[in-house]
Amino acid sequence: MLPAMTTTSALDLDTLRRVSRLAGFDWSDAELERLRPAVEASRRMLDALASAPIADVEPTTLYRVI
């Protein structure tokens, strides 16, 4: 089980390593440390989506308007 990727606490290196490996990347600890501030900032931004009023909104998966 992976720790929750929320921003209530800082993401530790182990979480970054496991998530990136799950995505198929074998980035070094140094690379992940460099990424950490940007990942944390991204996660803070993405967390805003959880509280968006979208419960009854169907996602846009078909882009052809007409």
Partner 1 sequence: MADLAWLTVTELARMIATKAVSPVEVVRAHLARIEARNRDLRAYLTVCGDAALEAARAAEAALAAGAPVGPLHGVPIALKDLFNTAGVRTTGGSKILADSVPKDDATVVRRLREAGAIVLGKLNMVEFAFGPEGFNAHNGMARNPWDASVERMPGGSSSGSGVAVAAGLAPAALGSDTGGSIRIPASLCGITGLKPTYGRVSRAGVLPLSWSMDHAGPMARSAADCAVLLGAMAGYDAADPTTSVLPVPPYTAALTGDVKGLRIGLLRGFFLESAAPEVRAAVEQAAKTLTQAGAVVDEVSLEHVGLVSAASLAIVASEALAYHAQWLRTRPADYDPDIAERLKLGAFVTGVDYVRGQQVRALVRADVDGALARRDVLLAPTTPIVAARRDEREVTLGTGASDIRSALIRLTRPFNLSGHPACALPCGFTTAGLPISMQIVGRPFDEATVLRAADAYQRLTDWHTRRPVLA
Interface residues with partner 1 (CB under 8 A)? 5, 16, 19-20, 23-25, 27, 31, 34-35, 38-39, 42-43, 45-46, 48-50, 52-54, 57-61, 63-66
Report the nearest approach of partner 1 to the CB of residue 66 (Å): 5
Q: Minimum Å distance from CB 25 to partner 1?
A: 6
The answer to whether residues 33 and 13 touch, using CB atoms and an 8 Å cutoff, is yes
Going through the chain in order, the beta strands assigned E by DSSP cover: none
Q: Is 21 helix (H, G, I), strand (E, B) or coil?
A: helix
Least distance from partner 1 to the Cβ atom of residue 33, Å: 12
Residue-wise DSSP of 24-39: T----HHHHHHHHHHH
